[in-house]
Amino acid sequence: DIHLTQSPSTLSASVGDSVAITCRASQSVDTWLAWYQQKSGTPPKLLIYKASSLESGVPSRFRASGSGTEFTLAITNLQPDDFATYYCQQYHKSPWTFGQGTNVEIK
Amino acid sequence: QVQLVQSGAEVKRPGASVKVSCRTSGYGINNEHFSWVRQAAGHGLEWMGWMNLQTGNTAYADRFQGKVTLTRDASRNTVFMELSSLRFEDTAVYYCASGGMYNWKFWGQGTLVIVSS
């Protein structure tokens, strides 16, 4: 299975900050990578697909990039609604796998 | 507006089976892939398998092969996930998801399955 490692595991930030989350894959996934946001008690929400494509309705302050084994999700001008847990997911090779998550918390 | 509505929480004994339903509305069910993803405390998100609602084809993650069975009732716009030989570590929230074969923009609300003696 392809293993995804996210860093950091926890990130403390303030409203208005810019933050970045990294997702590293144990082997190349080309650009077959998605990012999700999840808040407590609710299902994940798709933010990004194919490494850098913004899902419809997702604010443009979310940007993502990368290919191969290293990917980044960047959030600029953090809003109160952005404090959540973020997961990367690869769909290059079955089984589709997720990173362990990055919790973005209020500083 | 696509909606996925899952059945309610379940409490089961070890060794039992559980069947969770996911009813969809607002979308052409026959053109959709439905996946199941579980989230157990301390284990993050795990993709379990998918079903193609048009063909009935299924695919399972290796670790769930023989453990999970996906079925559908197209007349009721409903898909089912049955988990057998339940163990304590199967305690988790189970989600159905659709909107794509590989990643998912539509999610059910989740079904908590508790395995307890």
Residues of chain A found within 8 Å of residue B109, distances taken between Cβ atoms: 42-43
Q: Give the separation between CA B40 and CA B32, rounded to whole angstroms.
A: 26
Q: How far apart are CA A68 and CA A59, in angstroms?
A: 25
Please tell me the least confidently modeled range out of A88-92, B47-51, B71-75.
Answer: B71-75
Mean pLDDT of all residues in B48-67? 91
Q: Enumerate the residues of chain A whose CB falls inside 8 A of the CB of residue B103.
A: 34, 46, 49, 89, 91, 96
DSSP-assigned beta bridge partners for residue B111: B94
**Percentages helix, strand, coil for chain A, rounded to the nearest 5?**
5, 50, 50
* pLDDT tens track for A11-34: 999 999 999 999 999 999 999 999
The residue assigned the tokens 């069975």 is B69
Q: How far away is chain B from the Cα of A43, in angstroms, using its nearest Cα?
A: 6
* Cα dihedral A32, B99, A47, B58 in deg (nearest 10): -40
Answer whether residue B29 shows pLDDT above 70.
Answer: no
Whether residues B45 and A95 touch (CB distance < 8 A) is answered with no
Cβ–Cβ under 8 Å, residues B50 and B96: no
- Decide: B84 and B19 in contact? Cβ < 8 Å: no
Dihedral over Cα of B52, B54, B19, B94: its sign:
positive
pLDDT beyond 60 at A59 = yes
* Residue of A42, A49, A94 with shortest CB distance to B103: A49
What are the chain A neighbours of B61 within 8 Å (beta carbons)?
94-96
CA angle at B40 for the pair B39 and B44, rounded to the nearest 5°: 60
Interface test with A, best of B63, B95, B104 (most A CBs within 10 A): B104
Note whether A34 contacts B107, CB cutoff 8 Å. no
Walk across the sheet containing B78-83 and list its strands. B3-6, B18-25, B78-83, B68-73
Cα–Cα distance for residue pair A95/A106, rounded to 1 Å: 33
**CA distance linking residue B14 with residue B89, whole number of Å:** 10
pLDDT tens, residue by residue, A39-56: 999 999 999 999 999 999
Q: Are B103 and A34 a contacting pair at CB < 8 A?
A: yes
For range B106-114, the mean pLDDT: 97
Contact B102 A97 (CB under 8 A): no
pLDDT in tens, B96-105: 999 888 999 9
